[in-house]
Amino acid sequence: MPAIRTRHLRAVAAALVLSVTAPATAASAAPDAAALREVLFVGNNWDGTADVIKSSGDFGKIGRINVIPDKDQRMAEINADPIKWIYFMAIRNSVGEGHDQFVDDMYSTPDGSSVVVSRPSFADVVSIDLATGDINWRFPVSGYRSDHMAVSPDGTRVAVSASTSNTVHVLDVNSGKELGKFGTGDKPHENIFTQDGKYIYNMAIGDVNTQTDAPWLDWTKGNRYITVVDASTYQRVKVIDMRQRLDAIGLTDYSDAVRPAVFSPDKSKLYFQVSFFNGFFEYDLATDKITRTKTLPKNPATSDDRTTFVNDSRHHGISMSPDGRKLCVAGTMDDYATVVDRTTLQEGPLVTASKPYWATVSGDGKSCVVSESGTDQVTAIDFATGQKQVSVPVGDHPQRVRLGHVQSDWTSRAAG
């Protein structure tokens, strides 16, 4: 589906030139480090904004971006189309917990001039000009809902899940042009580019809004597996079905819906969460086996009734320190986050957090940053000690937190 380009051709052209020499990681994909400022983008899903905060230190607030400047236009389109309206309302009343989902994921362009955002309720991806607050381009995804994204190591491509069409679109971040797409299992969710940029991993989580949550009804959730594709041709390389791997170690009652995941620095291991489970798994890519299971503590105040878990996720959010020694886990329904030693799998202090929904790594690599969707703040936890460092208030229902860049002199006054 073609992107709708609206403006800002000069910045697009500049970004295309700069992307040719972009370094290997998105976080450092800066054409001129002196002209850029590293930041964390915090997507406030329910109010349609993204807070921009310092990437380390005191994580102080820098500014705020309005990611739905075209809300009136989008709502007019939805209200004029009965099918779109039905899906819009379904998103609000199911996965949105009674709220609209205006921002799921976001990444900045390599030159720090724009931020690319997926907007579930509007079923699209847009590029927002950080200087003016205007939309550079808009890409409507197939189906009726956009979801998690991933950016390529050089920062020039973004992969976005179209969750109702079982499709992942890969877009040029500067123009919004679709470069390719591929099919997935039911309800594609998390996307990960491998560090060398050769492959894209997509995790399909199946139906998470049904009440058929008992283990014996697991088969009703749909086809849930990891799809691995060649990042150049977008052709499927292999499919990894965790159902077989879980059954092989006797965990037949565990869900095979892979949620957030993270690779070890040497790319030999994948650590991942699944629906309903308070913990995570270690998967060895060479042997194609689940090698270790880590069960984390339950909060005694949290019901074990699976139908009470938000979108089937008991724990949702996992990251790893740059040296690969520590994991950080968001215990979403258990209201805590904790740092886990990767060698021993021993957890550290349980840091109280209200419905933490995501975990990422600070710019200096020293902290884990979790989004507390229950109290509208982000909290930094020290990887070395496992202790809380600071909490910073943000907007309504923060979810994804991503490292990126803005221009060094950027302020949010023009972006609203």
> What CA–CA distance (Å, rounded) separates 92 from 360?
26
Number of domains making up the chain: 1
What is the Cβ-side half-sphere exposure of residue 144, based on CA atoms within 13 angstroms? 15
For residues 184 and 163, is the Cβ–Cβ distance under 8 A?
Answer: no
C-alpha distance from residue 92 to each of 85, 99, 187 (Å): 11, 5, 17
CATH number assigned to the domain comprising residue 281:
2.130.10.10
Residue 364 pLDDT greater than 60, yes or no: yes
Residues whose CB falls within 8 Å of the CB of residue 244, separated by 6 or more in sequence, listed in order? none
- pLDDT class of 411 with cuts at 50, 70, 90: confident
For the stretch 151-179, pLDDT in tens is 999 999 999 999 999 999 999 999 999 99
Output the six-digit token pair for 394.
């943000």
- pLDDT class of 32 with cuts at 50, 70, 90: low
For residues 149 and 159, is the Cβ–Cβ distance under 8 A?
Answer: yes
Residue at 340 is within a domain: yes
Residue at 415 is within a domain: no
- pLDDT class of 17 with cuts at 50, 70, 90: very low
Tell how far CA 395 is from the center of its chain.
17
Average pLDDT, the chain: 92
pLDDT score, position 410: 94
pLDDT score, position 412: 79
C-alpha distance from residue 271 to each of 43, 104, 328 (Å): 24, 22, 11
Strands 157-162 and 377-382: unpaired
> What CA–CA distance (Å, rounded) separates 125 from 2?
12
Residue at 414 is within a domain: no
Residue 237 pLDDT greater than 60, yes or no: yes
For the stretch 70-123, pLDDT in tens is 999 999 999 999 999 999 999 999 888 899 999 999 999 999 999 999 999 999
Q: What is the mean pLDDT of residues 228-239?
A: 98
Residue at 356 is within a domain: yes
Sign of CA dihedral 180, 184, 186, 188: negative
Range of the domain at 275: 4-407
Residue 406's DSSP bridge partners are 37
Residue at 371 is within a domain: yes
Residue 65's DSSP bridge partners are 50
Residue at 198 is within a domain: yes
Residues whose CB falls within 8 Å of the CB of residue 293, separated by 6 or more in sequence, listed in order? 249, 251, 279, 281, 282
- pLDDT class of 31 with cuts at 50, 70, 90: low
Residue 12 pLDDT greater than 90, yes or no: no
Residue at 416 is within a domain: no
Name residue 214's amino acid.
A
Residue at 412 is within a domain: no
> What CA–CA distance (Å, rounded) separates 288 from 304?
31
